[in-house]
Structure 1
């Protein structure tokens, strides 16, 4: 049984967008700030998709391959 990913990490964003690891990390930090999340809190794939406007199914497929 395949499990569904809940959290997204800089390496995932790097893979999806083609940004460098540092740019991906800063992008996630920007999303967290806009959602009023604290530094230690994780960012969900759904939150990332909502902010970036990317389709959830495509993002999930690209990070689980």
Structure 2
């Protein structure tokens, strides 16, 4: 099954930032989409907010998915 949400570790890897910066980014994305703090951020929401292409983010996450 394909991954539909993104975690701070993965967001940090994709963006080339630290874990704490990625956590703050995901918090800002949740606020932007009016989501509760305890909900997941989808890859689509992440891409829409950051402007990154979905295909590239999904491809960047593939090695991570195999080791999860």
Q: TM (normalized to structure 1)?
A: 0.92
Following TM superposition, by how much is the alpha carbon of 1:64 offset from its aligned partner in structure 2, in angstroms? 1.4
Counterpart check, 1:21 vs 2:16: no
Alignment of 1:1-65 (within 5 A): 3-65=1-63
More helix by share: 2
More strand by share: 2
Number of residue equivalences: 63
Contiguous gaps of at least 5 residues in structure 2:
64-68
Contiguous gaps of at least 5 residues in structure 1:
none
The RMSD of aligned alpha carbons is 0.7
